[in-house]
Amino acid sequence: LLQGLGPNGAIAGVKVPAGTARLRLTATLHSSVPSTTGQVAVTLVDAYGTPYRLPAGQLSADGRPHPLDVYVAGGPLTLTTLDLVVTVPSGKADRQRLTVTELTTTDTEGTGRRLASPTDWRADSQTDSQTDGMSATPDPKTKPTTPRMSSGPGGLSVDYGTGFIPGDDVWSSGLLTVHLEAPQPKAARITAVATESFLASTGASVGDSLDVPLNGETVPVRIVRVIRELPTVSDDGGALLIDLRT
């Protein structure tokens, strides 16, 4: 019934083998302010395409490598994103560099394995600012700079400027999220299976695209198959089974 409803292409990223109990990222954060710390999180996607965002711990900006552990169960999994969240400094921007030097796994029997380091990931950043109810006009000079990626024998690195909050702005605070992501295959168009009565009531046919209201939005959906009926659905007007994972 559901044949033909899945996403196109495999999930891109670092493959984490089945049986892994712990994923370890060895990372270094450089900053002109050694007291800086950041929070690291990763996204792991299971074999069904379901993403799980998991915390990896705190990373100090002391220029030294630190192990960041993520405990998992089952598998196989795919590591698709890594996020670093740091506080936006006040008065002056900071130049920082995040480097992931090594990725390793440990299975349930304690056997370690080194994973291939990503080389083609991309990076962007986003600032989340709060002004405690005060209105503020953003100044382009205070914005973070575009992250710049590089890779080599030393691992995957991203250089970026944090931006800053003006020193005379005592009301504002902000967090900068630096987002590293494996480029994914182009998403397939959302597809659906329709009942015969749905096609009859709408005048649509297999292969047609319809605009379907979903959660307040209008989404184009392509009908890829027709069936007589769907379980637990009344025959009045028919029904449409949509695959939202695409």
Tens of pLDDT along 178-191?
A: 999 999 877 667 88
Under 8 Å CB-to-CB from 86, ≥6 apart: which residues?
36, 37, 38, 96, 162, 175, 176, 178
For 6-15, 60-69, 79-88, 102-111, which range has the lowest pLDDT when averaged over its residues? 6-15
Of 153, 54, 44, 45, the residue nearest 99 (C-alpha): 153
The radius of gyration of the chain's CA atoms, rounded to the nearest angstrom, is 23
User: Are the C-beta atoms of 108 and 73 separated by less than 8 Å?
Assistant: no
Q: Using the structure block, give the residue that is written with the tokens 């000079």.
A: 141
Q: What is the reported pLDDT for 8?
A: 54
Q: Using the structure block, give the residue that is written with the tokens 């292969």.
A: 207
Going edge to edge, which strands form the sheet with 240-242?
A: 209-214, 217-227, 191-195, 240-242
Residue 34 C-alpha from the chain's centroid: 28
Total residues belonging to the chain? 246
Amino acid at 136: A
133 band by pLDDT with thresholds 50, 70 and 90: very low
Q: Distance between CA 62 and CA 74 in Å, rounded?
A: 34
Mean pLDDT throughout 31-36?
Answer: 90
Report domain extents, the chain: 14-181, 191-242
pLDDT at 12 over 80: yes
**Cβ density class 201-240: b for 16+ within 10 Å, e for less:** eeebeeeeebeeeeeeeeeebebbeeeeebeeeeeeebbb
Q: Using the structure block, give the residue that is written with the tokens 């967090």.
A: 175
How would DSSP label each residue in 129-195? EE-TT---PPPGGGSPPPPEEEEETTEEEEEEE---B-TT--S-EEEEEEEEEPPPPPPPPPEEEEE
Q: What is the reported pLDDT for 123?
A: 95
* Token pair for 85: 């969240």
Q: Using the structure block, give the residue that is written with the tokens 């196989």.
A: 76
Which of 132-146, 172-186, 226-240 shows the highest mean pLDDT? 172-186
